[in-house]
Amino acid sequence: MKRAVYPGSFDPVTYGHLDVIRRASEVFDVLIVSVLNNKGKTPLFSAEERVKILKEATKDLPNVQVDCFSGLLIDYARENNIHVAVRGLRAITDFEYELQLAQTNSKLSGGRLDTMFLATNLEYAYLSSSSVKEIASFGGDISQCVPDFVADMIYERYGIEKSQKTV
């Protein structure tokens, strides 16, 4: 069984993430999307909420499981007997950080955790969770960025009424 983890903050999950999830789920027998519960950060959605959102957004993909982790990815991967992490690459600007992360994980795990990159679909290359939050916080249109139910949750979190949205 080829298993992989797709770790991330997913605060919130975007169509870019969902595209990577779908494509990685076609490569691996089981893909575990795992939300980082970073106690040092104040996210828009709690780890539990992000897990719930991801479960709903991936419910049509039978070999995708959703989980969360805290601490080091290599420890999570070892505990779950996973040897591949999947990450999406949007542009060259992602590359430096992602390469460093991949090499750090490889070194720290003694070569037991490898990283596979999927090039983000061009349609979503501009998308980031941070820009989605910023646009939504000003009542901008995020309908091209996240599924409708996620957009509703984000607007609600920012206290933006439907009538205030510039859609």
Catalytic center residues: 17, 41, 90, 129
Strand segments, DSSP code E, in 14-102 are 30-36, 64-69, 84-89
Footprint of ligand PNS on residues 46-85 (CB under 6 A)? 72-73
Least gap, CB of 144 to ligand PNS (angstroms):
20
100's torsion region: left (phi>0), alpha (psi -120 to 50) or beta?
A: alpha
7 binds ligand PNS (CB under 6 A): yes
Min dist CB 75 to ligand PNS, Å, is 8
Smaller CB distance to ligand PNS: residue 101 or 160? Answer: 101
Cβ-based burial of 20 (10 A; exposed 0-12, middle 13-18, buried ≥19)? buried
Which of these segments, 42-50, 100-108, 141-149, 151-159, binds ligand PNS (CB under 6 A)? 100-108
How many residues interact with ligand PNS (rule CB under 6 A)?
Answer: 9
| Helix or strand holding residue 21 (H, E) | helix 15-27
Say whether residue 16 binds ligand PNS (CB under 6 A). Answer: no
Query: Binding of ligand PNS at residue 104 (CB under 6 A)?
Result: yes
Burial 74-108 (b: 16+ CB within 10 A, else e): bebbeeeebbbbbbbbbeeebeeebeeebeebbee
Query: At closest approach, how far in Å is the CB of 120 from ligand PNS?
Result: 12
Between 134 and 141, name the residue whose CB sits nearer to ligand PNS: 134
Distance of closest approach, residue 98 Cβ to ligand PNS, in angstroms = 8
Total Cβ atoms within 10 A of residue 160: 17
Which residue, among 62, 58, 49, has the nearest Cα to 17 in the 3D structure?
58
Contact positions vs ligand PNS (CB under 6 A) = 7-9, 36, 72-73, 101, 104-105
